[in-house]
């Protein structure tokens, strides 16, 4: 085994372990913030696997899109919304866990079966390295043009939906009184994020929404 191939094998083993353990942590950890940070780690490890496959452009795009955008958005959502509150006891939690575990195990077996009976063409096609960027561009603007554009339409729809949801106070004002419709949604009591015991909402801190009016 040469130096290059053994290095590659070691990197592959480490990255695969990071992906597998990280993904398990994302699912199993009770703290949602840890899950979100671990998800970023999983995305980074997948980017590392792409690098090992000589697909540097895909790796960089993976980091930019999934770590830099998707994961940051997830973290934003968690940190702006998340409040430590005692979870209500769910009836039959043990049974639910067993059932969902069984479904996951079934899916895993199915994937394993696919992985073992598919006749993989190894070694695959020769990696083209840096030319891949040009090739991806050609494909995106010829035979994959329609899916590419459809994806952008989907994103636009998601964006409009997000704006409608976020600015409900502006969009759905009551015509008769001029009051925003969902005032209750906006004025929740402010509690510190990380304290286990929620502090009483202080009346001295007016909400920014109230201040504006």
Q: Which of residues 153-192 bind another protein (CB under 8 A)?
A: 192
CB-neighbour burial class of residue 60 (10 A; exposed 0-12, middle 13-18, buried 19+): middle
Nearer to another protein, 125 or 184 (CB): 125
Whether the CB-CB separation of 174 and 151 falls below 8 Å is answered with no
| Helix, coil or strand: residue 21 | helix
Q: Which residue in 205, 200, 168, 201 sits closest to 184, CA to CA? A: 168
In the complex, what is the shortest distance from the CB of residue 91 to another protein, in angstroms, rounded to a whole number?
32
Nearer to another protein, 69 or 105 (CB): 69
Q: Which of 13, 79, 99, 102 binds another protein (CB under 8 A)?
A: 79
> Does the protein bind another protein through residue 129 (CB under 8 A)?
yes
How far the first Cα of the chain sits from its last, in Å, is: 72
Q: How many residues bind another protein (CB under 8 A)?
A: 31
Q: Which of residues 6-35 bind another protein (CB under 8 A)?
A: 33
> Does the protein bind another protein through residue 139 (CB under 8 A)?
no
CB-neighbour burial class of residue 38 (10 A; exposed 0-12, middle 13-18, buried 19+): buried
Give the footprint of another protein on this chain (CB under 8 A): 2-4, 33, 37, 40, 44, 56-57, 60-61, 63-64, 67-69, 71-72, 75-76, 79-80, 129-131, 133-135, 192-194
């Amino acid at each position: 085994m040469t130096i290059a191939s053994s290095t590659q094998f070691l990197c592959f083993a480490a990255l695969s372990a990071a992906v597998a353990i990280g993904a398990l942590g994302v699912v199993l950890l009770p703290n949602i913030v840890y899950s979100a940070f671990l998800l970023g780690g999983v995305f980074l490890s997948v980017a590392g696997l792409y690098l090992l496959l000589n697909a540097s452009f895909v790796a960089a795009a993976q980091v930019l899109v999934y770590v830099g955008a998707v994961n940051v958005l997830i973290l934003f959502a968690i940190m702006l919304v998340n409040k430590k509150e005692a979870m209500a006891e769910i009836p039959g939690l043990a049974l639910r866990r067993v059932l969902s575990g069984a479904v996951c195990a079934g899916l895993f077996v199915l994937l394993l079966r696919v992985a073992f009976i598919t006749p993989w063409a190894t070694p695959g096609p020769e990696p083209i390295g840096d030319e891949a960027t040009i090739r991806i561009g050609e494909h995106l603007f010829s035979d994959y043009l329609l899916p590419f554009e459809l994806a952008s339409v989907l994103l636009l729809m998601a964006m409009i939906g997000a704006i409608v949801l976020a600015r409900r106070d502006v969009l759905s004002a009551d015509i008769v009184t001029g009051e925003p419709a969902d005032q209750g949604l906006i004025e929740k009591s402010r509690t510190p994020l990380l304290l286990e015991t929620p502090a009483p909402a202080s009346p001295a801190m007016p909400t920014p929404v109230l201040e504006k009016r």
